[in-house]
Chains A and B, each alone.
Chain A
C-alpha cells in the first residue's frame, strides 16, 4: 500500500509541476528576472502550494501517526548554520544559471527533452561528489582522532 500511494502521490506531484510551469526553465528564469521579462506566475505556485500544505499539515499532524507508518518522521535538526546558508546560496546560483531545481527537473524528465537529462545527470554527479567529499573528511577526522 505504501508503494501504491507513493506512485499516486508522485503522479500528483509531477502533474502539479507540469501544469504550474515549475519544470519549465524559461518560465522559472523569467520569474526571477524582475528587471527584464518578468513573469509573476511562480509566486502563485509557491503561494498556493504553501497554503494547501500549511492547512493540510495542520490537519494531518493532529493525528497520532501517519496512515501507513508507525510515526511521523519530521526533520529534527534545528541548527541554522553556515552549512545550511552556504548550501542554499550555492543552490540558488545553479537554479539561476539553469532555471532547473530538483523538484522541477525530475518530472520534466518525462517531457522527453534531452536538456533535462543533461541537467539531472550533472546534478546527481554534484550530489554524489559533495557526499564523497564529506565522507572523506569524516574519515580523515576519525583517522586523526585515533
Chain B
C-alpha cells in the first residue's frame, strides 16, 4: 500500500512534537519520552504520577479534538493482521523497557542533546526497524 510524500504536514507535525519536548523541559524539567511517561503513569507511584497520566490523556485527546473541530479524521491504516499487532506489541514493550526509551525519548530528545546513549539507541532501532521491514515485505 502506498502513501504519498507529505512534506508540509511532516514539517509542521515534527515541529509540534519538538515544541512539546521543549515545553516539557521548560515547565517540568523532564524528557518528553513516551516510554518513560507511560511506565511512570502505569507502574510507579508518587507525586510524578498525576502529570504523566494527564499528559497521556492530552495526547490521546488530540486526534479526537482535531476531528471534532476540523472534521478531518487522523490518517490511519494498519496493513498488518491483528495477531502480528499482538506479537509486535509485546516485542515493542520488552524492547523499550530494556532500551529505556523509544522514538520520542531517544530519537527526538536524546538526539537533540547529542546524548551518546540516545544516538546509539536511535541508530540501533532505525537499523533494526529497516531490516525487519525489508525481511517482512521482501523476503518472507
Partners in one complex: yes
Q: Which residues of A contact B64 (CB under 8 A)?
A: 110-112
Taken together as a complex, chains A and B put the C-alpha atoms of A7 and B98 apart, in Å, by 28
Count how many chain B residues have C-beta atoms less than 8 Å from C-beta atoms of the other chain: 113
* Secondary structure type dominating chain B contacts: helix
Q: Which residues of B contact A49 (CB under 8 A)?
A: 14-15, 17-18, 21, 107-108
Contact across chains for A48 and B38 when beta carbons are under 8 A apart: no
CB < 8 Å: which of A65, A79, A103 contacts B29?
A65
Q: Which of B8-64 contact A (CB under 8 A)?
A: 9-35, 38-39, 42-43, 50-52, 54-64
Given contacts A9-B55, A118-B89, contact A87 B100 (CB under 8 A): yes
Taken together as a complex, chains A and B put the C-alpha atoms of A27 and B79 apart, in Å, by 10
CB proximity of B82 to chain A, nearest CB, Å? 6
Look across to chain B and name the residue whose beta carbon is closest to the beta carbon of A114. Answer: B82
Contact across chains for B1 and A92 when beta carbons are under 8 A apart: no
Given known contacts A88-B125, A91-B91, A97-B91, what 11 new A-B pairs fall within 8 Å (CB)? A7-B55, A7-B58, A10-B57, A10-B62, A14-B60, A16-B17, A21-B9, A29-B137, A45-B11, A102-B102, A115-B80
Interface residues of A (CB under 8 A from B): 2-3, 5-27, 29-30, 32-37, 39-54, 56-57, 59-61, 63, 65-69, 71-75, 77-80, 83-104, 106-113, 115, 118-131, 134
